[in-house]
Amino acid sequence: MDQPDNLLLTVASKDATLRVALPPANLMDNYYDRAATLGKLDIVGHVLCSPQGELFCVRGEDLYRGPMPTKKDGDWFSTARRVGKSNWSHFEILFFHPNGELYATTKSKEFYKGPQPDNEYVPWEYGQATKIGSFGWDNFETLFFDPDGVLYAVTKTDKLVKGKPPTGPDYDWTQNNSLVGETGWLKLCHFISFAPDGKLWSVDKENGNIYRGSIPEDGRYFDSAEHLGHDYHLFRFLSFTPDKTIRNIISFEFLPEEGKRTSESAEVIEERIYDNRGSSVPLDHTFTFDKAVKISSSFSQDHGFTVEAGLEVKFTAGIPFFAETEATVKISASTTHTWSFTETNETEVKFSSSSNVEVPPGKAIRVVASVVKADLNVPYRARVKTIFGSETEVGGTWDGADVYNLKVTQDDYKF
């Protein structure tokens, strides 16, 4: 799968306007003019984006999470979920590991890590997180990870240091990190973060200059960093986020050669009883039916992308079926369907049959029409366009079924 573009999310200090766009590419590239405005994030204490592309915000004592906003005048908090009910103002620094784990320092100098909060009734600090530092974590102005999971910190003595993340509360990280840069790092802490490509971005607190560069062995960041813009200190919050919100599907392909039949069962689709117990002569009937069997299916979205809120993404493709004689999954070339990528789909297979039924005198006959239902898993790949115009390939699985092998049987029936 292609790597999604990396976006820069900002929240203005003056009016809390949320903006998102590709980060500046050069000094003449005006982020402010081309960024999409996506509502406001009022009265927030922390704003951060997970590596999976979700937005997390602390408002008051509570933590909220939700998909990236996509509407100009949308109210993000009306669609976000509260996943922490209290004490979130107690955290000083909140940031994510590249693997998605949340790390946090507290105002009482402790350090925690844990899964992304998902339940407001489970206290993250005491019910999910692990304490990995008991003291000294107030000595750092900021903390952040590089793409390989190495922990970096700017100390309050103006140095840049790095090391492996601590593993327990008694681990003295200050004695086990290594020096990266001697001086000049505190002023860059308005925003300092690695992009997924390994470049270090920073914003000067005083003049708002934004920089992108590598960290050479001698730690002289400014000697090679590019100056890419001014006045970024007017944004209260800045964060990188992957461009992982799908707007539409450009092309779609089922991968039947990788498809599987996961289970098989018989299903009765029509049943009738012909009663001739009260007669002394045979009774002739015709068992005739037309039946449409409905099949529900859906597309798993394990690729980490989401769909623009309120948008139903549709596309046209063939219909998977199970070729019984070959015992393989195939895709219908003659029949197509308009699929929903986000909602449950419903297709149907039609069956019909007509057969004679002779019921002897004094007897009852039951006629049953049945089919075989096979549950199918069929991988797919799709070329999608995101809300910010980038194209990428995603993959997942179609979870559905097929019905086939109509059989009509007759047997004596006893009431």
Residue 77 has pLDDT above 70, yes or no: yes
**CA-based max dimension of the chain:** 108
Of the residues 243, 265, 282, the one at which a domain ends:
243
Q: Is residue 387 part of a domain?
A: yes
What's the pLDDT tens digit per position in 255-280?
Answer: 999 999 999 999 999 999 999 999 99
d(CA 257, CA 22): 38
Q: Are 299 and 175 within one domain?
A: no
Q: Within this chain, do residues 328 and 366 fall inside the same structural domain, yes or no?
A: yes
Q: Are residues 229 and 266 in the same domain?
A: no
- What whole-number percentage of the chain has pLDDT above 70? 99
Are 255 and 237 in the same domain?
A: no
Angle ∠(118,119,124) on CA atoms, nearest 5: 85
pLDDT tens digits for range 212-259: 999 877 778 988 899 999 999 999 999 999 988 898 999 999 999 999
Q: Is residue 1 assigned to a domain?
A: no
Is the pTM above the cut of 0.85?
Answer: no
CATH code for position 385: 2.170.15.10
Q: Are residues 285 and 165 in the same domain?
A: no
Using the 3D structure, point to which of 198, 223, 243 is the last residue of a domain.
243
Please give the residue that has the higher pLDDT: either 389 or 185: 185
pLDDT at residue 3, rounded to an integer: 61
Closest among 192, 170, 169, 195 to 181, alpha carbons compared = 192
Residue 291 reports pLDDT greater than 80: yes
Domain shared by 110 and 222, yes or no: yes
What is 322-345 written as a DSSP string?
A: EETTTTEEEEEEEEEEEEESSS-E
Among 317, 338, 37, 25, which residue's Cα sits nearest to residue 199?
A: 25
Q: Are 216 and 353 in contact (CB under 8 A)?
A: no
Q: Could you tell me if residue 178 is inside a domain?
A: yes
Mean pLDDT (the chain, rounded): 94
Other CB atoms within 10 Å distance of the CB of residue 360: 13
What's the domain count of the chain?
2
pLDDT reading at 1 higher than 70: no
pLDDT at 69: 87
* Least confident stretch, 5-9, 313-317, 344-348, 353-357: 5-9
Mark whether 119 and 82 lie in a shared domain: yes
Contact (Cβ atoms closer than 8 angstroms) between residue 215 and residue 37: no
pLDDT at position 344 is 96
363 in any annotated domain: yes
Q: Is residue 194 part of a domain?
A: yes
CB 188 within 8 A of CB 206: no
Tell me, yes or no, whether 34 lies in a domain. yes
Residue numbers of the domain that contains 320? 247-412
Question: Domain containing 192 — which CATH number?
Answer: 2.115.10.10
Same domain, 277 and 236: no
Both 296 and 214 in a single domain? no
- For 24, the enclosing helix (H) or strand (E) is none
Number of H helices, E strands in the chain: 2, 29
Strand order in the sheet with 91-96: 91-96, 102-106, 111-114, 130-133
Q: Which of 243, 272, 306 is the last residue of a domain?
A: 243
Residue 403 is assigned to a structural domain of this protein: yes
225 plus 269 within the same structural domain: no
Shared domain for 347 and 239, answered yes or no, is no
| 25-76: pLDDT as tens digits | 999 999 999 999 999 999 999 999 999 899 999 999 999 999 888 888 889 9
Q: For residue 369, tell me if it sits in a domain.
A: yes
Query: Closest Cα to residue 110, out of 127, 85, 86, 92?
Result: 92
- Say yes or no: 43 and 190 in one domain: yes
Residue 2 has pLDDT above 80, yes or no: no
Helix (H, G, I), strand (E, B) or coil at 398: strand
How is 177-192 classified by DSSP, letter by letter? -EEEESSS-GGGBTEE
Q: Which two tokens stand for residue 162?
A: 């790095």
